[in-house]
Structure formats: structure tokens, C-alpha cells
Amino acid sequence: MSDRSRTCDEGHAGNGENAVLPGSPGPPRCRIGNPSCCCVTEYRTWDDDCPLCQALREEHVQDEYTQILNSEMSVMIEAVYGLSSLVEQKLKEKQKTRQDIWKREGTFGIFVTKGEDGRRRIVVRDGWTSYHIDDAQSGGVLVRRVQPRVLTRSHTTTTGTPEAVEGPPTSTGVGGNASGAAGRVTAPPPVDTLEACERAARRLREVASHLQHGDVPLAVLQKTLTYAACVLETVCQEETRKLLDEDDELSEVRPDAVPTEVREWLESTFTRQSASLPKRRSEDKPRFRSVANAIRAGIMVDRLYRRVSPSAAVHLQVPPPILDLLKTTDEWCFNVFKLNELSTDQALRYLSFDLLNRYGLVHKFKMSSLFLENFLTQIEAGYKKYGNPYHNNMHAADVTQTVHFMLCRAGVANWLTDLEIFATLFAAIIHDYEHTGTTNNFHVMSRSETALIYNDRSVLENHHISSAFRVMQRDDCNVLANLSREEYREFRSLVIEMVLATDMTSHFQQVKTMKTALGHHDFSLDKPKSLCLILHACDISHPAKEWSLHTRWTGYLMEEFFKQGDKEKQLGLPYSPLCDRNTTMVAESQIGFIDFILSPTMDVCSELIMKIYQQVLHQQQQQRASSASTTGTPSEDSSRSSSVSSVGSQDVPKEPARPWMKYLEVNRLRWQERAAQDAEAKRLAEEQASVTNNGSAEEAAPASTE
């Protein structure tokens, strides 16, 4: 729009000669609204009194930046001149040159130089760009951004302004070396250091500020972002690890800060981690060889077992109908009620015996079949002690079978060692042992003996574990007799952790923590925490099974709750939620349980299982590659590391089975229908009651008036 060949209506030449800063004395300003006035188009020296300037200012808001910069610079310029001469003077005294300063201060600097035309010029430069601020005549300021450039070395001229040299990004990967000495190409600090956080943050800010001018070279931008991302990820991982490892409050204590002995004492005394327990590392790799052995043993024992061989059946004679039913234990909707009927109320014993054999654990850990049978008999009896409608041997068998599904069909077993598989199944078997049919809260409120023993903390869960381990004190029930000391410690620690995590008060924390962990890129899974979540999910999984199974469980659970309500009433205690048999809305409670508890849990479980599956596949591929490179053929062990469910088939499943979501949806809909029916029935009953009341009132009324 501006015509540089002529002057504007105000007589400005269009070359900046007449450009002025607002408020400065000088030639007349543009006041008449000529859009091609050089004051407006060339130097953006807005006149606050000029209506066109105002209009243009609104239209080109971004140009305000230049205006602000100019006015700021005009203030700064004198200060810089003053500073510069002061520096010059000091340099002379110390017999140093500007290059010395440049080298020491890094790539950022402000210099005052003289241009070819003899005018003073301020050069502001950093890792990417030089800004040349020319001292225009009449007190005005010209800011020019010289082409983006990246400084790599101290390519400084010996006289005048040190020249920025364009070049590739430094090996720091993030452009200039803003804090280090110019000329030194420093590597960025390792991503897991505090320094890296600071560096990444600073670089990001620098890039952000440069982006405002659009002058950050793409390569620099990319490298800065990549580095910052690495740092962030590392920080996230570290934070998550700390979050998950809540017990390890001593993780902040640097290993070298205290002697090992003191550290171990601190750990054993003030955290839940035992000093003598071999530290479980979340990055422990699955040991395929051992799992493969388990599978092989499982296959072998399974075959023998199915032929009712002496090794498996000598102590537990399994009637053929039970054997047939046990062939369906790999199914998500296995009918545990049927098993209990066929086995005359011994579902837990038959199922557990079968599974421990199929996984080859009886063989692997040299369990005496007789001891195992004794142990299981004791445990099953403990589940029947209080005659609970829900928390009985069937529930234990149901949870154990569901855990087995997770291990075999969802592929989790491929990720575990034999000992971990054993601990997981064992935890499921004993997880509600000697359940009283009342809740933890009831124990606390009624000041039960058990609450006294466990100080109101996870009262039932503590009892389940403690009393189950006590059963094994009897020599003829000790199925752990042949575990090594280390194996016993690890096994016990895992079982304790898993069963304690079935306390519902830890539900939200567990789900949230796992969700957060899974959301993090490249997070290595924590095995104990993963197994805790899986057992917890199995424990509450019946609303994700076939409707016929789920409603039966719900009926039993509600009956147990109501029985507790009856006791509460007797004791003069307030009803616990869902325990008043006269008011509890069963359908609504199930919808709530599905929506807020089970669905989120199973969602996270699905994610976890996929992550485990990917990790196992990756591990397997690596193993294959390494064994192929050493032997020329893929290893037999690794190619076998398939789902334990295979018991006979050795293919790696394409995808882990996750059938629960469809049942959850169907069951939810059915509860909704029920809720609507219940509401309608209630409405009709109330209507009926009011009709009856009115009728009797009408009958009574004449009598009363008579």
C-alpha cells in the first residue's frame, strides 16, 4: 500500500527519516489518516492521537509487539550504551577483549558495535538469532532480526562484533549453548537428573519465545522437543514408581547416604519391606524357561490325571462326572455351583487339587499329595464354619477358577514364574478363609475379638491369611514344606500382599494407581501390584459372568448382608449399607456396583492384560531371536511359552481372552429392567395400600360421625 517513491501527505519521505516515537519532539506526525503514511507502514511508530493509527493498531494487533519492543528498546538503549562504555572501561583495565567475555558468557550477549555507516548498533544475540538494533536518527529505533542462526563454536571475529555462525544444532541436540561457555559443545545432562529438568524447561521456554518470531530452525525445535519429552517421561516414570512403591519411603535416601546395614534396618523396621526378603524388582523379566517347564509339567500331569493315574488320584478319587466338569475350568462362565453339587459341597478341594496339579506345581514344589489333600480339606471346612450364604467354599472356588482363567486364557501365567503362579492360586484359595459372614466394619463396630487382634485394620483379610498359614503349622497339612527358605519368604510375602489387597477399602487406590501406571509410556509393570489387582478383580467378578450365575451370587450376597443387618438390629447398631432387608434396592445397588466399581476395574484389568501380553510377546521374540542366532533354530522353550490353558496346544493365542465386558453390559441392562419392574410393583403396591386405606377410612368415617 505504501508508495515509497513519494512522500506521504504529511511530507514524510518513507525512508524512516521522519519516523518518530510517540511523544518525541520532532517533525509533525501523521494525523490525517493516510493509510500509506510511512510512519504507519514502515516503522509502526503509532500516534496515539491519530484515529487511523488507532484503527490500524486494532487490525494488526500482532504489530504491537514491534511497537512495544521499540519503545522498550528506546528506554533500554541508553542504559546499554552506558553499560557498554562501563564494560569497555573495565576491559581496558583488565586488558581483556570482548571475545573473552563472549566465550565465558556463552552465546547470549548484548554488544554495541558500529555499523559500516558509522552508526551505533546494538546486537542482541543468543543461540539462534541476532537482533540488530540500529540507532535511527531522531531518537528512533530500528529493530532488525537477522536470519536465524545456530551457534556451534566460538567462530568469533577478532575485531568488532563476534559473528554468529550458522550451522547444525549442537550435539546437545537443542541448539545453542545458552548456559555453557560458547565454543564448548556440551552434552545435555542425563535425562534422569534434576539438571536435565532445568535444562529442558529452559530450552522449551527459549524455543517458545523464539517461536513468537517464527525463527526457530526445525531441527532445533525437533531436538529440543525430543529431549524435553525424554526428560518428562523419565520424571513421570520415576514419580509413578514412587507412587506405586508407597511402602518404600526410604527410596529418597540415597544408597550411599547410609551404610547398607543401617538402610536394611530402616527398611525392616519402618517400612513393610523386609530386610531379608530378596528385593522384587518391577523390571524382573519373565522367566520363560521356568514357565515352559510348568506348562510341560502341566501337560504331563494333566494327561496322567485325566487317565486317573496314581500320581494325581491316589489320594483324591475323582468321580467321572466331576472329572468331566473339571474339563471346563478354562471357561469364563464355569459353573461352580454344579461342581459343588457333584462333589457334595467340596468344590474348592476338587478344583484346587486339579489346578495345582495341572500347573505342575505339586510336582515342582514337591508337595505331598496327601498333605495337599489334608490342607484343602481344612481350608474348605474353614469356609463352612459360619454357614455363610455367600462367603463360603463356593465363593473361594469361584474366585480360584476365575484367577485360573486370568492366568491361562488371559495369558498372565506366561509372565509369571512358577512360584508366582503358585502364590496367586494359593492366595485365591485362602482369600476369605474363615470368613464370618460379616464385614470389617461390623467387626469394628461390634468390637469383635478379631478386630481387637488386628487393631481394626483389614480385620478379616488379616485373619484369612494368618489362620490359613496357621493350618500349615500342622505337619500333615504343610504344602510348603519343601520350599526353600527364599521361596517360602517370597511366596508368603506375595500371598500376604495379594490377600490384604482384597480389602475393599483399597479398591479405588488400586484401580487409580494401576490406571495411572498403565497410562505412562514404557512403564514397567509391577508384578505384585498387578497380581493384587487381578485377584481383587476376580473376587468381585460375578456381575461380569452369565446372568444365571450372577443373579445366584447376588441373591447369596444380599442374604448375607441382610443377616448382618439382622444382627445389627439385635445389637442396637445402625444398619450398614445394603443390610436392611426391608429397604435395600437390590437392582439399583447392582447397577451402581457395575457402574462405579466393577466396570472401571475390569477396564483397567483389560488394559493390564494387554500390556502383559505385549510384554510377553516382545520377550518371546527376543528369546527366539537370540536362540536362533546361537543355535540356528528357534528355541523349543520359548516357542512353547503359550497360554497355560493350552494344556495340549502350544500356540500363542492371538489375543488374550477378555470376555467380561459383554456380560457386564447385558447384566446391567437386565438389572435396569428389574429396577423398572420393582419401581412399578412398588407403585402398584402403594396405590393398592392407599386404596385400602381410603376404603377403610370411608368405612370408619360414618361410624365416627354417628
Catalytic residues: 391
Give the distance from CA 330 to its chain's centroid.
30
Measured in whole angstroms, how far is the alpha carbon of residue 236 from the centre of its chain? 9
Amino acid (one-letter) located at 507: H
Residue nearest to ligand AMP (CB): 593
Tell me whether residue 590 is annotated as binding.
yes
What is the DSSP annotation of 349-377?
Answer: HHHHHHHHHHTTHHHHTT--HHHHHHHHH
Q: Is 391 annotated as a binding residue?
A: yes
Instruction: Choose, by CB under 6 A, the member of 405, 593, 660, 663 that binds ligand AMP.
Output: 593
Contacted by 536, from Mg ion, ligand AMP, Zn ion, none: CB < 5 to 8 Å by type: none
- The binding track of 534-553 with respect to Zn ion, each residue x by CB under 5 A or -, is -----x--------------
Burial class (CB in 10 A: 0-12, 13-18, 19+), 68: exposed
**Contact between residue 200 and residue 207 where contact means Cβ atoms under 8 Å apart:** no
- Closest distance of CB 399 from Zn ion, Å: 6
Task: List, as own/partner pairs, every contact residues 232-239 make where C-beta atoms lie below 8 angstroms and the sequence separation is at least 24, other chains included.
Answer: 232/200, 233/191, 233/520, 233/521, 233/522, 234/191, 234/192, 234/196, 235/197, 236/520, 236/521, 237/520, 237/522, 237/523, 238/192
The answer to whether the annotation marks 520 as part of a ligand binding site is: no
User: Between vectors from CA 385 to CA 382 and to CA 390, what angle results, nearest 5°?
Assistant: 95
Q: How far apart are CA 317 and CA 409, in angstroms?
A: 27
Q: Which is nearer to ligand AMP, 227 or 383 (CB)?
A: 383
Is 340 labelled a binding residue?
Answer: no
| Closest to 496 measured CA to CA, from 347, 279, 273 | 273
Using CB under 6 A, pick the residue from 109, 543, 565, 656 that binds ligand AMP. 543
Stretch that binds ligand AMP, among 287-295, 446-454, 539-547, 659-667 (CB under 6 A): 539-547
Which CB, 494 or 591, lies closer to ligand AMP? 591
Residue 669 beta carbon to ligand AMP: minimum distance, rounded to whole angstroms? 16
List the x/- string, 498-537, binding to Zn ion by CB under 5 A. Answer: ----------------------------------------
* Alpha helix ranges (H) inside 413-471: 418-430, 440-445, 449-453, 459-471
Could you tell me the CA-to-CA distances from 374 to 177, 386, 476, 512 in Å, in that order?
Answer: 73, 20, 7, 40
* CB closer to ligand AMP out of 330 and 539: 539
Residue with cell string 481350608: 379
> Nearer Cβ to ligand AMP, position 540 or 647?
540
Residue 307 grid cell: 487317565
Candidates 204-212, 426-434, 540-548, 576-584 — which segment interacts with Mg ion by CB under 5 A?
A: 426-434
**Nearest residue (CB) to Mg ion, 354 versus 432:** 432
List the grid coordinates of 375.
490342607
Does 603 appear as a known binding residue? no
Q: How far is the CB of 446 from Mg ion (least distance, A)?
A: 18
Out of 392, 400, 414, 554, name the contact with ligand AMP by CB under 6 A.
554
Residue 560 within binding range of Zn ion, rule CB under 5 A: no
Region near ligand AMP per CB under 6 A, out of 9-17, 484-492, 538-546, 623-631: 538-546
Q: What are the cell numbers at 200?
A: 529442558
Residue 404 counted as an annotated binding residue? no
Q: Is 522 annotated as a binding residue?
A: no
Using CB under 6 A as the criterion, what x/- string covers residues 464-503 for binding ligand AMP? --------------------------------------x-
Q: Is 70 in the site for ligand AMP (CB under 6 A)?
A: no
Q: How far is the CB of 517 from Mg ion (least distance, A)?
A: 24
Piece of the chain touching Zn ion by CB under 5 A; list 130-138, 431-439, 448-456, 543-551: 431-439
| Selected range binding Zn ion among 55-63, 194-202, 425-433, 625-633, rule: CB under 5 A | 425-433
Near ligand AMP in 503-532, by CB under 6 A: 504
Comparing CB distances to ligand AMP, the nearer of 38 and 664 is: 664
Which ranges of 42-162 would DSSP assign to H, the alpha helix? 51-59, 64-94, 98-105
Strand partners, 112: 122
Q: Does 398 bind Zn ion (CB under 5 A)?
A: no
Q: What is the dihedral of CA 671, 677, 680, 684, to 10 degrees?
A: -130
CA gap 108, 472 in Å, rounded: 73
Contact 660, 332 (CB under 8 A): yes
Q: Which of residues 481-520 bind Mg ion (CB under 5 A)?
A: 502
For the bound state, the minimum distance from the C-beta of residue 395 to Zn ion, rounded and expressed in Å, comes to 6
Residue with cell 526428560: 231
Q: Which of 432, 497, 560, 568 binds Zn ion (CB under 5 A)?
A: 432
Tell me which DSSP letter residue 441 carries: H
Q: Which residue has the cell 499329595?
A: 369
Query: Alpha-carbon distance 137 to 20, whole Å?
Result: 9
432 near Mg ion (CB under 5 A): yes
431 is in an annotated binding site: yes
Q: Are 253 and 263 in contact (CB under 8 A)?
A: yes
Binding residues: 391-395, 431-432, 539, 590
Q: Which residues bind Mg ion (CB under 5 A)?
A: 432, 502
Q: Which residues bind ligand AMP (CB under 6 A)?
A: 391, 432, 502, 504, 539-540, 543, 554, 557, 590, 593
Binding residues for Zn(2+): 395, 431-432, 539
Binding residues for AMP: 391-395, 432, 539, 590
Q: Which residues bind Zn ion (CB under 5 A)?
A: 432, 539
